[in-house]
Amino acid sequence: MCGIYGHIKKSSKTNSLNACIDGLKKLEYRGYDSAGVAGIHDGKIVCCKTVGKVVVLERAVKAIKLELSVAIAHTRWATHGKITETNAHPHFDESRSIALVHNGIIENYQKLKTELEENGIEFLSETDTEVISQLISFHYENDISKAIQKTLPLLEGSFAIAFIHKDHPDKIIASSRGCPLAIGICHESHDIFLSSDSNAFTSSKLDVFYLHDDEYAIISHELIEVYNLAGIKLVKQIETLNLENISISKEGFDHFLLKEIHDQPLSISKAIENRLDYANATANFSELTLSDEELQKTNRILILACGSSYHAGCIAKQIFEAYAKIPTEVEIASEFRYKDPIILKNTLILAISQSGETADTLAAVKESKRSNCPVIALCNVKRSSLSRLASSTLWLNAGPEISVCSTKAFTSQLTLLMLLALKIARLKTLSHKEGKKFLFEIERLPAQIADILSKSSEIEKIAKKYAGHKDFFFIGRNYMYPTSLEAALKLKEITYLNATGYPAGEMKHGPIALISKKLVTIALCGNKHTFEKLLSNLMEIKSRGGPIVAFAPKNSSEILSLTNDVIFLSDSISDTFAPITYSICCQLLAYYIAKFLGKDIDQPRNLAKSVTVE
């Protein structure tokens, strides 16, 4: 995982250390366990590492009062080794000639480490990364190219690396395999930037290129040279990036999470903007490169995703099957990639990822592409790796999602998936009348969400009442079952409480044994089709003394006698669209419980926004 950054000054007045800190702040979504920065001063490697978030490093760097014109930096999500200053990057070789930052995992690091130790080399850290710096140094005989050509073939796994060497104080050397690494040259200052994510560049207009697998770059302010492993110089394709200067602010909310929950009337409006085609009772996507004929041929859909994006896929499965009548499979990307998948002809592959950088999803898509079936990605982050892999990318247009926990991206994914289901359904058998009804309903979503948000204080009261409990079940039926999975994920992610999502009708087959006064059941009653059945399931829980809180449609007063607390929502929300509105209720519930418990809501422990390792 982790984010790497680098800066070489050409004509700006920027101190490379400060440029790196600014870059790291934009990469913190990739991990925030520790951070570090290094450069060369008076012929020696200088380095500052701290445990915790980038602000802690920023304070430490300010205290050093050092000016550098070349620096590399790192923000870590721990994989190998505890969260300590020693394990923080950059890592060195034994003679401290090299400082190196790394994103990825070296799978054979233990074997390489043992071999180096047998050669008398001592290691300082518990990380896999240190083997890379030690190996480069081991192979270095005054020729940096040769050292890297000897080192890279020994590494198994994935990496994006950047390092400095005290014999080459004006240079950064970088390489990658399976992890993104972008190099940008600022139009104005000609300063050079290097980053795990081109969106983290702190300059607004740059010429950018990406390193591909096993390429390496030797970068100075005068020259950037890129080679392949055979030492052949490569000509890279350069694109000009105009980065929007989006100001990131909580806009008066206490947390980004709450702001992003409240963004949803707007983010859903953006997801449907210019995509509703009333004349043809369908949805249109200007970015879609697949023709209607190709879509019409689809007779199976395969959805690949992780986490909340996977839950969006599980809800979409039911929608594709109900409206487009296409059998749909949803696969957790980390499982799919190691299967021997059967992908039949005319399968449409949908890859869902907010970040477009999730390693498991990328690997699953690479595997699925062997079938030659078209891949449509649904992404929020522009220029992400996934969008470069897919045949077409549908953009969520939700705006930056800063909080680690996904809220508005999840509901925008659902909205886009619903529109895509409508488009395919109209190409199959759905009538014009039904298509139009679907469009009217989807257009009402922003207003319905605003109505949900107006219930925040009611939800806050419920949160306060139940914040002392340790165990929660979220249950629902039909569309509300996958919605309950997402609701449980939200709660456990930001409160660290035990929460499980379950199909209500399945409780009696085992989990009902857990019901007691201490375990709270949150019932998602947004599915009219199975409402009566759900009531019976709630009765079974009530009979066993379990407290029940329900989110339910307004006209369902029979729910009152079964539950301890109810929040009534509009009864005009249809079953198909209820996953969006009911999810937002659960986002608010999780938020307020986390707030009462005093948790680090925007950056929960052990997590990162973008999971770039498998």
Residues serving a catalytic function are 2, 609
Nearest approach in angstroms of CB 405 to ligand F6R is: 4
Nearest approach in angstroms of CB 291 to ligand F6R is: 27
Half-sphere exposure of 194 (CA within 13 A, CB side): 35
Question: Which of 516, 519, 545, 544 shows the shortest CA–CA distance to 466?
Answer: 519
> Applying CB under 6 A, does 406 fall inside the site for ligand F6R?
yes
Nearer to ligand F6R, 17 or 405 (CB): 405
> Applying CB under 6 A, does 361 fall inside the site for ligand F6R?
yes
> Applying CB under 6 A, does 264 fall inside the site for ligand F6R?
no
Q: For residue 111, give Cα distances in angstroms to 114, 125, 149, 159, 165.
A: 5, 15, 19, 17, 25
Residue nearest to ligand F6R (CB): 307
> What is the pairing mode between strands 498-503 and 471-476?
parallel
Select from 113-121, 262-270, 272-280, 347-355 the region that touches ligand F6R (CB under 6 A).
347-355
Q: How far apart are CA 313 and CA 541, in angstroms?
A: 29
Nearest approach in angstroms of CB 407 to ligand F6R is: 8
| Rounded (10°) angle between helices 445-453 and 264-272 | 170
Nearest approach in angstroms of CB 361 to ligand F6R is: 5
- Cβ contacts of residue 200 below 8 Å, gap of 6+? 3, 5, 23, 26, 27
Nearer to ligand F6R, 50 or 411 (CB): 411
> Applying CB under 6 A, does 355 fall inside the site for ligand F6R?
yes
> Applying CB under 6 A, does 309 fall inside the site for ligand F6R?
yes
3-class secondary-structure state, position 51: strand
Task: Answer whether 356's CB lies under 8 Å from 385's CB.
Answer: yes
Task: Answer whether 604's CB lies under 8 Å from 405's CB.
Answer: yes
Task: Answer whether 48's CB lies under 8 Å from 16's CB.
Answer: no
Three-state SS letters, 231-247: CCEECCCCEEEECCCCC
Nearest approach in angstroms of CB 380 to ligand F6R is: 8
Select from 64-72, 306-314, 519-527, 597-605 the region that touches ligand F6R (CB under 6 A).
306-314
Nearest approach in angstroms of CB 590 to ligand F6R is: 10
Nearer to ligand F6R, 68 or 418 (CB): 418
Candidates 47, 348, 611, 613; binder of ligand F6R (CB under 6 A) is 611
> Applying CB under 6 A, does 354 fall inside the site for ligand F6R?
yes
Instruction: Quickly tell me which residue has 């999500």 as its tokens.
Output: 77
Q: How far apart are CA 105 and CA 1, in angstroms?
A: 8
Find residue 193's DSSP bridge partners: 7, 184
Task: Return the residues of window 68-87 that contact ligand F6R according to CB under 6 A.
Answer: none
Nearest approach in angstroms of CB 585 to ligand F6R is: 16
Nearer to ligand F6R, 313 or 546 (CB): 313
Nearer to ligand F6R, 29 or 216 (CB): 29
Candidates 22, 197, 331, 493; binder of ligand F6R (CB under 6 A) is 493
> What is the pairing mode between strands 239-242 and 205-210?
antiparallel
- Cβ contacts of residue 208 below 8 Å, gap of 6+? 182, 183, 184, 185, 198, 201, 238, 239, 240, 241
> Applying CB under 6 A, does 405 fall inside the site for ligand F6R?
yes
Rg (CA), the chain: 26
Q: How far apart are CA 538 and CA 550, in angstroms?
A: 10
Binding mask 450-489 for ligand F6R (x = CB under 6 A): ---------------------------------------x
> Applying CB under 6 A, does 16 fall inside the site for ligand F6R?
no
> Applying CB under 6 A, does 306 fall inside the site for ligand F6R?
yes
> In which element (H, E) is residue 578 found?
helix 578-596
Total binding residues for ligand F6R by CB under 6 A? 15
Nearest approach in angstroms of CB 301 to ligand F6R is: 18
Select from 52-60, 85-93, 350-358, 415-423 the region that touches ligand F6R (CB under 6 A).
350-358
Binding site for ligand F6R (CB under 6 A): 306-309, 353-355, 358, 361, 405-406, 489, 493, 610-611
